[in-house]
Amino acid sequence: MSESLANPDIINIQPFAVSKDVVKVKIYITSLEFNTKAVFGVDSYLANGGIFKHDDVIMEGEDYALWNNDDNYAINFVLGKLGYVKA
């Protein structure tokens, strides 16, 4: 397999532990369809303050109904989807 950015392939890398490197996240709403779904943007930060990655997490259906303006529910939902645990 040749690696090319013009025709990118998936590149194998050595496994690494993200949970030890990421120490903070910023969660914000990027899209909201009332009574249907919400899309949350999540920026994951390293201990040195650099952004590690960005994710989008979708909340819909029963999860959206359970949110019911309880931001702690939404925060825990998003963290859980990414495998993060609040400190």
Mean pLDDT split into 10-residue runs, the chain, 87 residues: 45 52 86 93 85 93 92 89 85
pTM: predicted TM-score of the whole model, two decimal places:
0.76
Residue 50 domain-assigned (yes or no): yes
State how many domains the chain has: 1
Residue 55 domain-assigned (yes or no): yes
Residue 13 domain-assigned (yes or no): no
CA distances to 18, 33, 58 from 22, in Å: 6, 30, 21
Please give the pLDDT value at position 14.
53
State residue 5 phi and psi, 5-degree precision: -75, -20
Residue 4 domain-assigned (yes or no): no
Helix (H), strand (E) at residue 32: strand 22-33
Please give the pLDDT value at position 7.
54
Please give the pLDDT value at position 1.
44
